[in-house]
Structure 1
Amino acid sequence: MKTAVEKAADTDYRELSVSPHLITEAKSALMHFERLCGRYQQMYNTQVQANKLFVVKAKNARMYISHFVQVLYMSIQRTEIKEEHLSLYGLEECNMIVPDISTNEQLLEWGRKIIEGENIRISRGAVPIYNPSIAKVKVMYTLFKEGYQTQKLHQKATTRVQDEVAAYREKVDKLILDIWEEVEKDNMDLATDQRLDRNRQYGVIYYYRKGERV
């Protein structure tokens, strides 16, 4: 379509193989489509850059929560903390194993449970766990949670524009087909080589399979 629009701009309207009305419509559609594609690329790039920072935040939160749970288990083994307190963290059925926090959703859930559990235990007069402290864990978890929510917004915005591009592509494809048909019809009486060359100037290019006759 872009080739046809550029060709029309350099051709006298009386020599055009495409109707002026169709060229005008194609030019408008092309400008809109290119803007949409530009917006999508910009949003996608923003999402990719933000994800690089988010990956670091997720790694830190995962490390701190895992470490905290391990220290909690060791404190129980040393009888510094009662085993029954595991229920405060939702860890009573984990068999003294760090829960699966490999996905972001699991990390969100377990991070919340661990922080709430430690706060409840401390509020009852118990000695806080240190190295890492729950305050430090919470900082890393909060950074992760904020980054997670931001990434969701980026993904939603990118997907929305991607859907707009896909929807508008239907109109673009229809215009390309209309241009193709008008160009072929206008040049159908020309000799083969001349017809192919003329069509090619408007972006109408044929590809033949091996052994297929022109």
Structure 2
Amino acid sequence: MPYRRLPNTDSSRLKALKTAYRKGKDLPPVKLAFSQSTSQRVQLFINSFDMAMDRYKKVYEIQVKYNKDYTSVTKKARLYLSHFIQVLNMAIQRGDHKVAIRAFYGLEDYNNRLPSLTTDRELVEWGIKIITGETQRTSKGMAPIMNPSIAMVKVWFENFEEAYKQQKVFQQNTARAQAELDGLRNTADDIILNIWNEVEATFKDLSDDTRREKAKDYGVVYIFRKNEIQGLSLLHRSMQGML
């Protein structure tokens, strides 16, 4: 026997609710295969679920849209910052600057190695350290690091910081919309389960095939198992051979 499969995506949940909603609007209560109390639950709930889905879709699309620009700016800031540190290390190796200047940047434990700039948090941390350190060092009359200059590093780092803060807002908006949708999902599942149970109970005295056909008209989904599909295929071919 085929089994009933409840919706497992938000779009399929909304489709099931809309099917029930239309039935509740189109049919008088005496002809409706589920109760008036369930019909009222659908009417009161469906708009909330639909709007929550729409809100999540919109804020997620905004996040994705700006993520490409954010990724590009982040890559550029990381490149300038790492190049600045490399140039600084080469200047020390050539003897143009003393090893002690690494303390201005918090790099005294790194020798000629680059600190990790892999994560956005690390990029924020080291961007602040490097810009602050170079500003303090040059304010004491020491020659600035060039190619790239700290001014160029600062431009791209500030672009990154702005994009980083904006992306965090987008992520928070998406998380809130997702949480709202998650909170409604259990209610949607409960309403759909009630609808389908009541529909099947209404048609319980009909033959299996007729009951399923009528229930399908209310959005109930039935899935045939693999062996049942094979059996139906064999039966169909056998019937064709008899014709």
TM-score of the two chains, using structure 1 as the length reference: 0.94
Q: Return the offset for 1:7.
A: 2.5
Distance 1:190 1:11 in 2: 20
Residue type of the partner of 1:15? K
Q: 1:203 Cα shift? A: 1.1
Offset of residue 200 of structure 1: 0.7
In structure 2, what is the equivalent of residue 55 of structure 1?
Answer: 71
Q: Secondary structure at the match of 2:53?
A: helix
Picking from 78, 98, 112, the partner of 2:128 is 112
Distance across 1 between alignment mates of 2:140 and 2:111: 24
Give the superposition deviation at 1:12: 3.0
Moved more, 57-66 or 11-20: 11-20
Moved over 4 A (4+): 210-213
Which residue in the other structure is 1:138 paired with?
A: 154
Structure-2 separation of matches of 1:205 and 1:159 = 31
Larger deviation: 110-119 or 201-210? Answer: 201-210
Give TM-score scaled by structure 2 length: 0.83
Stretch deviating more after TM superposition (197-206 or 33-42): 197-206
State the match for 2:10 in structure 1: none
Q: CA deviation at 1:162?
A: 0.4
How many residue pairs were aligned?
213
Aligned to 2:98: 82
The structural deviation recorded for 1:211 is 4.9
1:180 corresponds to which of 196, 216, 219 = 196
Kindly report which structure 2 residues correspond to 1:151-162, keeping only aligned pairs within 5 A, or say none. 151-162=167-178
1:25-72 Cα offsets, whole Å, 9 max, x none, are: 212211110110000010000001111111011011011001111111
* Structure 2 CA distance for aligned equivalents of residues 205 and 86 of structure 1: 68
Counterparts of 2:220 and 2:168, CA distance in 1: 41
Are 1:198 and 2:211 matched, yes or no?
no
State how far apart, in whole Å, the 2-side matches of 1:207 and 1:42 are.
33
Give the secondary structure class of the aligned counterpart of 1:96.
coil
CA contact (8 A) 1:40 1:158 kept: yes
Once the two structures are superposed, the pairs formed by residues 81-100 of structure 1 within 5 Å of their partners are 81-100=97-116
Contact 1:122 1:128 in 2 (8 A): yes
AA matched with 1:56: S
Partners of 1:27 and 1:114 in 2: CA distance: 59
CA contact (8 A) 1:4 1:201 kept: no
How far apart are the structure 2 equivalents of 1:125 and 1:198? Answer: 87
What residue in structure 2 maps to residue 25 of structure 1? 41
Task: Quote the residue 1:68 is aligned against.
Answer: 84
Q: Does 1:15 align with 2:31?
A: yes
Find the partner of 1:125 among 141, 147, 157. Answer: 141
Matched AA of 1:7: K
Aligned alpha-carbon RMSD (Å):
1.6
- Structure 2: tracts of 5 or more residues without a match: 1-16, 232-243
Answer whether contact 1:57 1:140 (CA < 8 A) is retained: yes
Q: Which amino acid aligns with 1:141?
A: F
Letter in structure 2 aligned against 1:126: M
In structure 1, the gaps of 5 or more residues are none
User: Hey, what's the Cα distance between the residues in 1 that align with 2:227 and 2:141?
Assistant: 87
Q: What is the deviation of 1:110? A: 0.9
Choose 112-121 or 68-77, whichever is displaced more.
Answer: 68-77
